[in-house]
């Protein structure tokens, strides 16, 4: 009985630690590999470098904000690099001014916007 209690007692902190690790990975996804895109039309990717992006709440807030936009197909937030990757729907675009204003309205400063396009 003591061995079981000891085993449970020692494994509990490890389970908390592993849950903590997994929760951070939700928002620290990689930028999509352009070679994996199968769309025949041009798929637009926008990489936005942001100041002030530090927590999971920041990532959730931005996902809600950009998720409401019809032009945005996916959003990936990398907290470690302070980068937001936007994948736009086919034949849609967002101007740099709209992107900057959306981040500014959310409380973040945009330092750089980079665009990539894969022609299929």
Domains in the chain, please, with CATH?
A: 34-118 (3.30.70.100)
**Whole-number pLDDT of residue 38:** 40
Question: Which pLDDT tens digit goes with each residue over 50-67?
Answer: 998 888 998 999 999 999
**76 and 32 Cβ atoms separated by less than 8 Å:** yes
Characterize 56-74 residue by residue with b for buried, 16 or more Cβ atoms within 10 angstroms of its Cβ, and e for exposed.
eebbebbbeebeebeebbe
**Which residue has better confidence, 90 or 21?**
90
Please tell me the distance from the alpha carbon of residue 89 to that of residue 44, in angstroms, as a whole number: 7
What's the predicted TM-score (pTM) here?
0.63
């Amino acid at each position: 009985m003591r061995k079981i209690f000891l085993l449970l007692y020692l494994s509990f902190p490890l389970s908390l630690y592993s849950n903590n690790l997994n929760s951070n990975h939700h928002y620290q996804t990689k930028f999509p590999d352009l070679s994996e895109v199968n769309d025949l039309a041009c798929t637009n990717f926008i990489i936005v470098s942001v100041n002030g992006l530090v927590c999971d709440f920041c990532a959730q807030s931005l996902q809600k904000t950009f998720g409401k936009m019809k032009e945005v197909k996916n959003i990936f937030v990398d907290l470690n690099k302070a980068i937001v990757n936007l994948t736009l729907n086919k034949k849609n675009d967002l101007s740099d001014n709209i992107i900057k204003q959306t981040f500014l309205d959310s409380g973040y400063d945009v330092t750089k916007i980079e665009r990539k396009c894969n022609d299929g």
